[in-house]
Structure 1
Amino acid sequence: MTQRSVAFPIVLIAIGAGWLVNELQLMPQMGTLIILGLIAAGVAVLAFEGINKSSVVTAPMLIATGFAVYLKDYHGLGLKLAIPALMVLAGLLMLLARSVHIRERVEQDEQP
């Protein structure tokens, strides 16, 4: 099954689930949704791509950004600390991605 064929059903499920949760008044605050969305996106990158030179940077950065937003919103961590910490993490992850032990990203060709 190609990514194109699953995209529309997944979008329908996401919109429908969000709408249902909102109608049942179970919707958390917007900040919580952003935090969960960033962390879920990072986990999804790892789940769909596995560990490669691209995902070893992207996934942890998404997850760390989600935690930084959480710490900012719920524990008062200022952006003056979060942004430099995220920059250091990004640099470390970029160096890690250069390792010969981490495989290159494999591009999937579209099949007719």
Structure 2
Amino acid sequence: MKDAALPVVLIVLGAAWLLNSLDWLPEIHWLWILGLAGAGIAILALDGITKSSVVAGPLLILAGMLSFFRQYYGLGWRFIVPILLIAAGIFMLVARSPAIPESRTLTRRFQDRGPHG
């Protein structure tokens, strides 16, 4: 299922681009916003909860939301950058939890072989 990440991201970007080209979306750069958020959702959906996806997925979703707020409400970089830094730190601390697996592939391989190889 992990190999499906690129096709899903391409579908989301293509759909957003098409809707924008048809002028069915407001004058906000939806392609960028949906691309960021869609990539974050795709990472979480396809990779599951792992140490890397728990950081990358939510961070991309947050970046998409902040991009919307920048374009629609004029949120400045002086707020966006610190928010992203704080969020990245929080997500990295969450990823350090022993309850979150390193990756699904490594977990499966370890379980298949057993603890002694």
- The structure-2 alpha-carbon separation of the partners of 1:90 and 1:67, relative to structure 1 and needing over 3 Å to count, comes to same
The aligned length equals 104
Question: In the TM superposition, what is the alpha-carbon distance from 1:33 to its structure 2 partner?
Answer: 1.1
Q: Which amino acid aligns with 1:66?
A: G
Map Cα deviations across residues 8-63 of structure 1 (whole Å, 9 max, x no partner): 7x85x67875786577x246446111101111111100110000000000000000
1:84 corresponds, among 60, 82, 85, to: 82
1:56 corresponds, among 29, 54, 57, to: 54
CA distance in 2, matches of 1:55, 1:97: 9
The normalised TM-score by structure 2 is 0.71
* Percent of aligned positions that are identical: 41
The normalised TM-score by structure 1 is 0.74
Structure 1 unaligned residues grouped into runs of 5+: none
- Tell me what 2:96 maps to: 98
- Larger CA deviation: 29-38 vs 61-70: 29-38
Q: RMSD in angstroms over aligned alpha carbons?
A: 3.1
Question: In the TM superposition, what is the alpha-carbon distance from 1:2 to its structure 2 partner?
Answer: 8.3
Question: In the TM superposition, what is the alpha-carbon distance from 1:105 to its structure 2 partner?
Answer: 1.2
